[in-house]
Amino acid sequence: MASTDIVSAGKAQRNQGRSMSGKKRARTSWLERYSALLVAAMLIAAWQILVPLSGLSAFVLPTPLAIATRMINDAPLLVAHLYVTLFEVIVGFGMGVLVGVPLALSIFYSRPFERAIYPILVGLQTVPKVSLAPILVLYLGYGWAPKIVLAFLISFFPIVISTVVGLQSLDTNLVNLVRSMGANEWQTFFKLRLPAALPNIFGGFKVAISLAVIGAVIGEYVAAERGLGYLQLQANSLFDTTLNFATVVTISLLGVILYYIIDVVEARVSYKRDDAK
């Protein structure tokens, strides 16, 4: 029952996309549509051209082409370390979802919980999680654990807070409406509260996944034997600036791809608010 509701919401968005884009396409030119890509391409081209002209050595600033070549040549190395970081990010983020969403539900449904836990959570959000990295290493050693915990801690807060906000921002008249139809709380949740909160929840997921990448990499900076953060430190100690940059690009790509995966899932599952036009 609940799942069909969510699936049909996904279809809704796709249909909507089809009917709306007709109008949009007429107004948005090709240039406008790809303007961000175009600007990015221009910046990279400028980098490529200006580096040799500036007289900076490749040790200081390699050209984009050199970085790309290096990424292709060292692909097996980069991918091997990428898997490590990816695993930490996925597990950390997954834990963030598994703990964050139920906690958000508890905060939403239980007044004592909201009173006692929510302010503490909001307060704890001001603690820079990154600064916990050395302590986590002290407690958990050099393995997976501190990176996963850091990715979890850093992604957990936006998930909890956006989910709570999403649930709380529902129009109470809508709740009255479904109650008047005889809905119990279970039905109210799956037919109304959850689909209405999905845009917020996914907003939280998107912030969280990007932060989880940062958490995992920072964990690797502090103490690691594998992972993209570790590879970057290695490149640093060898003065291999090109590999260093290649790693940075790989980390960025990882973040971007994970973000878009969530975006795609959202498009299938949730329907954009109509006031978001």
Partner 1 sequence: MNTIQTTGAAVEISHLSKVYKTREDDDVVAIERIDLQFEPGTFVAVVGPSGCGKSTLLSMLAGLVSASTGKIAIDGDAISRPHPKIGVVFQSDLLLYWRTVLDNILLPIEIKRLDLSKFRTRAEELLEQVGLKGFGKKYPSELSGGMRQRVAICRALIQEPGLLLMDEPFGALDALTREQMIMDMQSMWLRVQNTVLFITHGIDEAVFLADRVLVMSPRPGRIDLDLKIDMPRPRQWSKVHEDKVYHGYVRQIRDIFEAKGVLVAH
Task: List interacting residues with partner 1 (CB under 8 A).
Answer: 1, 8-9, 12-13, 15-16, 19, 171, 173-174, 176-183, 187, 191-192, 195-196, 270-271, 273-274, 277
Q: Which is nearer to partner 1, 33 or 273 (CB)?
A: 273
Distance CA 271, CA 244 (A): 40
Q: Which is nearer to partner 1, 145 or 178 (CB)?
A: 178
Distance CA 144, CA 43 (A): 37
Helix pair angle (75-109, 228-237), 10° resolution: 130
Tokens read off for 137 = 């290493």
Distance CA 70, CA 242 (A): 7
Shortest spacing between CB 181 and partner 1, in angstroms = 4
Distance CA 212, CA 262 (A): 13
Shortest spacing between CB 20 and partner 1, in angstroms = 9
Q: Which is nearer to partner 1, 225 or 274 (CB)?
A: 274
Tokens read off for 189 = 């949740």
Q: Which is nearer to partner 1, 80 or 179 (CB)?
A: 179
Distance CA 181, CA 179 (A): 5
Q: Which is nearer to partner 1, 69 or 191 (CB)?
A: 191
Shortest spacing between CB 16 and partner 1, in angstroms = 6
Shortest spacing between CB 266 and partner 1, in angstroms = 12
Shortest spacing between CB 13 and partner 1, in angstroms = 8
Helix, strand, or coil (residue 155) = helix
Shortest spacing between CB 260 and partner 1, in angstroms = 22
**Percent helix / strand / coil, the chain, rounded to 5:** 85, 0, 15
- In the block, tokens 């850093």 appear at 154
Q: Which is nearer to partner 1, 1 or 31 (CB)?
A: 1
In a 13 Å sphere around the CA of 40, the CA atoms on its Cβ side amount to 4
